[in-house]
Chains A and B, each alone.
Chain A
Amino acid sequence: MSNSILDKIALLNNITLGSLSETDKITIIKSFTEAGMKILEADFGFVWYRPRSNNKYRLIYTSLNLRYSPHYPRRKGTNYVVQHNKEPLMVSNVKKAPFVSIDTRTYMKSLIVIPIAYQNNTYGNIVLGYNKIRKFSENDRSLSIALGNAAAQALTISRLHLYIEEQYQKMLKQKDEFLGVASHELRTPITTIKGFAQLLQQKSAGGDPQLNYFASKINTQVDKLARFVEELLDVSKIEAGKLPFRRKKIKLHELLKEIVEDLQFSTTQHEIILNGEIYGFVVGDPDRLSQVFMNILTNAIKYSPSGGQIIIRFRQKGPTALVSVQDFGIGIPKRHQRQIFNRFFQGRHSKASAFPGLGLGLYISREIVRRHGGEIWFESEKDKGTTFYVELPREKMKK
C-alpha cells in the first residue's frame, strides 16, 4: 500500500520535472491529466481551461476514452464551486450531488474536479471521471491537491518563459531600430562637421600653424567617428538580417592592389607586399569585400606598431581563392583568440588606449565573408605576428 503511494508521488514528480522545459500549455495540461488518471485510477479525464483574458471556461483537452462532449459549465456548477473553494471536489456518487449537471451524471458514477491553482494563479480545472462508484481516501485528496498545484506551477513557468522570450525579441527589435535610426541621423551632422573642418584646414594652411594643426586633428577624429557610425549601422543591419549585397564579378588581385595603394599612403613604417596571382574571379559585393580586406590590413598595421612587412599572398585551392595577410606584429594572446570575432570584442593590451576601436570590424568582416559563401580565420603567435586567411568561392574566367 505505502509502496503504491510512493510510486504515485514519484510519477507526479517525474511529470513535474519533465514539464519544466515545456512551453506549450496543451502539452503540459495533457501530461498532468494523464498522470492524474493513473495516480487517481480514473477512467477518463478532461480539462476546463480558463484563460486570463476573458475568464470563460474552454474545454482544451480530453483523454482518448472520453466518449461524450462535456457541456459548457453552468453558472453554479462544479467548476465554479471548485474555483471558489480552491480545493478539489470529490464526489463518490454523482446522483447524490445536486450541483453536478444531469448531463455529467449520465456519463460517470464518480468524479474529482481538481483546481489547477496555487496562490492567486488559477488556470481552470482537471476533471477525472469514473465508470464505477469509487470511494475516495485522504491520500486521494492530498494527491489531487499536489497534482493541481504542480500543474499550475508548470503553467506559470511556461507563461514566464514565453513572456521573457517575447520581451527579449521586442527589445532586440527596438535596439536594431534605434541603432539604425541613430546611425542614419548621425551621418548628416558628421558630413557638416567634416566639411567645415576641411574648409578650416584649407583656409588656415600657410597661416597660423597651430590653427591648421587643430583643424587637421578635428578632421582625423571626425573620420574615425564616421567609421564607427558606419560600423554600428552595419551591425544593426546584420542583426536585423538586412545587410544588402550586390553581385558583381570581382578580380581579387585588382581589388587588393587598389586597397594597398591607398593604405601604403598612410604608413611609412610598413611595407605592404602583394605576392602571387589569382585566375578567375569571385562574385560578390566589391565594396563589402574591400571593407573586409581594409579591416584586416588596418588591423595588421595597427597591431604591428614597430613597423615591418605585411605580406598578402594569393593562392588557388581547388574551387576557392585563398587570400592571406601576414603581419609580424604583437600577435593575438591565446586567451583572446577564441573571442576576436565576437561583437564589441576589443583586445585589452598593456597599453589599452593604444589600440582604440569599437571591436566590430572582425565581426562585420566574418558576416560579409560568410554571406559570400566563404570563411575567415587566423593563425597567431604572441610577439611573432598574425596571419588572417579569407577563402572565397572562385568562378572560372570565361574566355
Chain B
Amino acid sequence: MSTPKKILIAEDDPGISELIETVLEEQGYVVEICPDGHIMKELLTGKRTAGFMPDLILLDLWIPEIDGKKMAQLLKSNAATKHIPIVIISAQRNLDTIVKKVGANGFLAKPFDLQELVGTVNQYL
C-alpha cells in the first residue's frame, strides 16, 4: 500500500475544519489543520522537509492576519510549493475568477456538501 496523501486544511473555523478532517480521514487521507498562517509560512521559508510536505492545500480565503489570495499566489510562485494543488474554500462568490487570478487549482463554495468535498479533493490527488 502506498503512503497516504497528506492534506493541509488552512481554515480558522473549527466547525468546518473538524468536518473536513472527519470526512477526509475516512477517505484514508492524513489531515493537518492550521487555523492561522504559520504552516504556510513554514512551507514558504523552507522550514518543512520533504516528508512533511502536504499533497494538497485546502485554503480558506479569510484566515486571521493572512491575506488568503496573497498566500495562494506566494505558494504558487515558490519553487518548493508550486506543485502543491490549492483548493480555495470560501463563502464568497465568483470563486472561479479568484482561482484564475491567484493561480489556484479549484474551489469549494460554502455551503458545499460532502460529495462535493470528496469529489473535489479526489480530483487533485
Give chain A's interface residues, CB within 8 Å of chain B.
Answer: 184-185, 187-192, 194-196, 198-199, 226, 244
Cβ of B93 under 8 Å from chain A: yes
Best-buried of B19, B22, B93, B111 by chain A (most CB within 10 Å) = B111
B65 within 8 A of partner (CB): no
Tell me the complex Cα distance, A246–B22, Å.
35
Q: How many Å from the CB of B93 to the closest CB on chain A?
A: 7
Which residues does chain B contribute within 8 Å of A184, judged by CB atoms?
Answer: 91-92
Quick check: A191 and B22 within 8 Å, CB to CB?
no
In contact, A187 and B91 (Cβ under 8 angstroms) = yes
Q: Using CB atoms, name the residue of chain B closest to A287.
A: B93
A191/B94 contact (C-beta < 8 A), A196-B19, A199-B22, A199-B23 known: no
Task: Give the nearest-CB partner of A185 in chain B.
Answer: B91
- Chain B residues, Cβ within 8 Å of A188: 13, 15-16, 91, 110
Interface pair B19/A190, CB less than 8 Å apart: no
Write the nearest CB–CB distance from B87 to chain A, whole angstroms.
Answer: 14
**Residue in A187, A195, A196, A244 whose Cβ sees the most chain B Cβ within 10 Å:** A195
| Interface: B112 (CB within 8 A) | yes
A189 to B23, CA, bound (A): 16
Contact indicator A244/B93 (Cβ below 8 Å):
yes
Known: A188-B13, A188-B15. A195 touches B114 (CB 8 A): yes
Interface set of B (CB-CB < 8 Å, partner A)? 13, 15-16, 19, 22-23, 91-94, 110-114, 117
Residue contact A191 to B112, C-beta cutoff 8 Å: yes
Q: A191-B111, A192-B15 are in contact. List 8 more A-B contacts (CB 8 A).
A: A188-B15, A191-B110, A194-B111, A195-B113, A195-B114, A199-B19, A199-B114, A244-B93
Q: Are A226 and B23 in contact (CB under 8 A)?
A: no
For B96, the closest partner residue in chain A by CB is A246
**When A188-B16, A192-B16, A196-B19 are in contact, do A226 and B114 touch as well, CB less than 8 Å?**
no
With a CB–CB cut-off of 8 A, which chain B residues contact A191?
16, 19, 110-112
Closest to A202 in B: B114
Sampled A-B contacts (8; CB under 8 Å): A187-B111, A188-B110, A191-B111, A191-B112, A192-B15, A194-B113, A199-B114, A244-B93
Q: How many angstroms between the C-alpha atoms of A187 and B92 in the bound complex?
A: 9
Q: Give the Cβ gap from B36 to chain A, nearest Cβ, in Å.
A: 17
Q: Which among B13, B114, B117 has the highest number of chain A CB atoms within 10 Å?
A: B114
User: For residue A195, which residue of chain B has the nearest CB?
Assistant: B19
In the complex, the answer to whether A244 meets B16 with C-beta atoms within 8 Å is no
Distance between A236 CB and nearest chain B CB, rounded to angstroms: 12
Closest B residue, CB atoms, query A222: B111
A195 B94 Cβ-Cβ under 8 A: no
User: What CA separation (Å) do A226 and B94 show in the bound complex?
Assistant: 18
CA–CA, A244 and B112, complex, Å: 20
Give the residue among B92, B113, B117 with the most A Cβ atoms within 10 A: B113
**CA of A334 to CA of B19 in the docked complex: distance in angstroms?**
49
Point out the residues of chain B lying under 8 angstroms from A195, CB to CB. Answer: 19, 23, 113-114, 117
Contacting residues, chain A, for B91 (C-beta < 8 A):
184-185, 187-188
Q: Which 8 A-B pairs have the closest CB atoms?
A: A192-B15, A187-B91, A191-B111, A195-B19, A187-B110, A190-B111, A191-B110, A198-B114
Query: Which residues of chain B are near A196, meaning CB under 8 Å?
Result: 19
What is the minimal beta-carbon distance from B71 to any residue of chain A, in angstroms?
A: 19
Complex contacts, A226 vs chain B, CB 8 Å:
111
